[in-house]
Each structure stands twice: as C-alpha cells, then as structure tokens.
Structure 1
Amino acid sequence: MKLLNLTAFTSITIATAIAPAFAKDCAPVDGLPLSGYRVDTMGENQHHVHTEVLINATASEVWGVLSDFKNMPSWSTTFQGMVGDIRDGGQVTVTYKFPDRVAEIPHTISYNEGVGYGWSDPLGFAPKMADNHVFEIEPVSECLTRFKQYDTFTGVGPEGSEITTAFISQDAMGVYRIFNAELKVAVEAKFQ
C-alpha cells in the first residue's frame, strides 16, 4: 500500500533549493554538510527519520518563518500550518496537503518558543502506530542555522495491511526533505 504519491511534490528542484548561498557577511562553516537525511532502524516496529538543512539566516529569522503558520501555505506544498492553542501542552490542528487529499490532524503540541515544536500521537489511519514528530532549529553561527525535522514511528499497522514503520519512515522522509528545502528557500529569499 502506498500512502503518498510524491511525484506531485517533485516540481521543485531540491538540489537548487539547497545549493550554497551565503550573504556577503556570512562565510560558510568548513566541514558542515548543507543537508542530510537518513532512516534508522531502532527495532522491528520502530524507525527514526532524521532530516536537516543549513539555512543562511539567523535562528530568529528561521523561527519567524517556521512559526508563522498563517503564511506557511504560501511557501510550503506539504505542511500547511497549525491552528489552536499554540503553547506547550496545547491542543492544535495540523494541516497537511497531500497530492490526493488535505488532512487536518489533531495533536497535543510540545512547544519551545524560538527552539522547536512537535507532537507525539497515534496515527489516524493506523491507531496502533504513533509518531513523535519534531521541528527544531539550532544556531550554527551568527548567520547560519541548522533546521532539523525528525520523527520516530513506533507500533504496528492495521491487521492485514502492508503498513509498517519502515514503509512510513521512507515515505515521510521524502516529504520532510521537500519541506526542508522549501523552508530554506522561503527564509533565504525573505532575509537576503
């Protein structure tokens, strides 16, 4: 069973979106990769997705775009924003746009102003599975920020289905890479 059709998301060129672009006063930091991604197997029914990208902007600039949920649909083709009680422990509804549908998903949010946010809840289509999804920023220098998006999927899929944490992790990694590239483009276009 295929959860997502990523073909529709490939209209942006990820290689272009993550190409090195540094402001005149911001030199690259030697040895840092511009982006990275991987899926780690942590157990039979547990997989961890890790994606990251370096953004040529301050941490506060990245946070400003990442936490501006009303404007997110103007630059993100996947994560369309969040509404509700946006504070640590608050109840929110997260909207994702997929090629074949829009999903509004309720979550209890973990929120740390200026650092990151995320949630850990059962998956609606697979209630015996859960995800622990995190968006996080990390300053690297005065004008360079690492954005990390990671998720740990645990549990088993619906009986008789082919849904596994390994499958969901691989599918999710593609979507996260697209979001990361779009975030980098949006932030750098706004602040350079």
Structure 2
Amino acid sequence: MAKQIKTSIIIEASREKIWGILTDFENYTEWNSFIKSISGELKVRNRIKIKVQGMTFKPIVLTLNQNTELKWLGNLWFRGLFDGEHKFYLTDNGNGTTNFEQSENFSGILVKILTKSLEKETKNGFEKMNKELKLRAETN
C-alpha cells in the first residue's frame, strides 16, 4: 500500500533565500518545530541524520538541485516495512514569491496501519513547518 501527503505554501521570498534556510541545518532549532535537527553532508547518495518528534532516522539523499529540489529516502528498520520518500520543491512564481511544496510518498507493509497518524500528525507537522519557514523567510 502507498500513501502520499502533499502540502504547499506561497512565500514572499526568493527561492535562493528559502533554499538557504532549508539547507542551514545548524539553525533548524531556531525556527523549525517539526524537524528538530538534520546533520550530515548534504550530497547525493549520502546518509543524513534527521530527528523529528521523538524519532531519528538516517535517509539517503536522492536528489539535490540547488534552489529547487531536495529529496531523500528513509525507512523504518529495513526497506519495505515503512519507507518514506520526502521532497522539498521550490517554484519561482515570477512575481517575487516562491511556491514551497513539501511532500512524502510512503510505502511498505505498515502504511495501512499508520494511515490515520500520517493523515493527521504528519500532515499537520508539514503544514506547521511550512508556516514557520514562511515566517522565517519573510521576516529575516
């Protein structure tokens, strides 16, 4: 079974500014209440370490397109049990604003069991982070 969560927000800032905030892992604690921390070298095929709401995982960076897209693949214990392909995507709207999209495609045998939690808690976490990113980008 597969499940997708997708959220987006319009931010009055450039893609470059937003990208700078997203990839400045050392300062996540200043603004991001959803992703508590990210560490490791941001490079395709590298493992990074991410802490979110009481859970730590070590996904592999799949895509890294400067100022546009960051995507990683993580899993719970082993591949196929509960996997998540997380993506940040930035689109320049051509008017001084940027559309920030955060999504995750979940797959694996535990997805069905965790669907309600994903729909509520994970989606709420994405939306809260989006708002916090907007606030940070528009006020700093």
TM-score (norm 2): 0.88
1:46 aligns with 2:2: yes
Give the number of aligned pairs: 138
Deviation readout 1:64-87 (Å, 9 max, x if unpaired): 111111111101111123211211
CA contact (8 A) 1:120 1:133 kept: yes
For CA contacts below 8 A with separation 6 or more, give which structure has more relative contact order: 2
CA contact (8 A) 2:57 2:75 kept: no
Q: State the 1:142 CA deviation.
A: 4.4
Consecutive unaligned residues of structure 2, counting only runs of 5 or more, are none
Deviation readout 1:107-128 (Å, 9 max, x if unpaired): 1112222212121232249961
1:156 aligns with 2:106: no
CA contact (8 A) 1:119 1:133 kept: yes
Equivalent of residue 50 in structure 2, options 66, 71, 94: 94
Instruction: Give 1:69-148 correspondences, 5 Å limit.
Output: 69-96=25-52, 98=53, 101=54, 103-110=55-62, 111-124=64-77, 128-148=81-101
Equivalent of residue 187 in structure 1, options 134, 137, 140: 137
The equivalent of 1:60 in structure 2 is: 16
Higher helix share: 2
TM-score (norm 1): 0.66
Consecutive unaligned residues of structure 1, counting only runs of 5 or more, are 1-44
Equivalent of residue 176 in structure 1, options 120, 126, 131: 126
Greater than 3 Å deviation, 4+ residue runs:
124-127
After superposition, the CA RMSD in angstroms is: 2.1
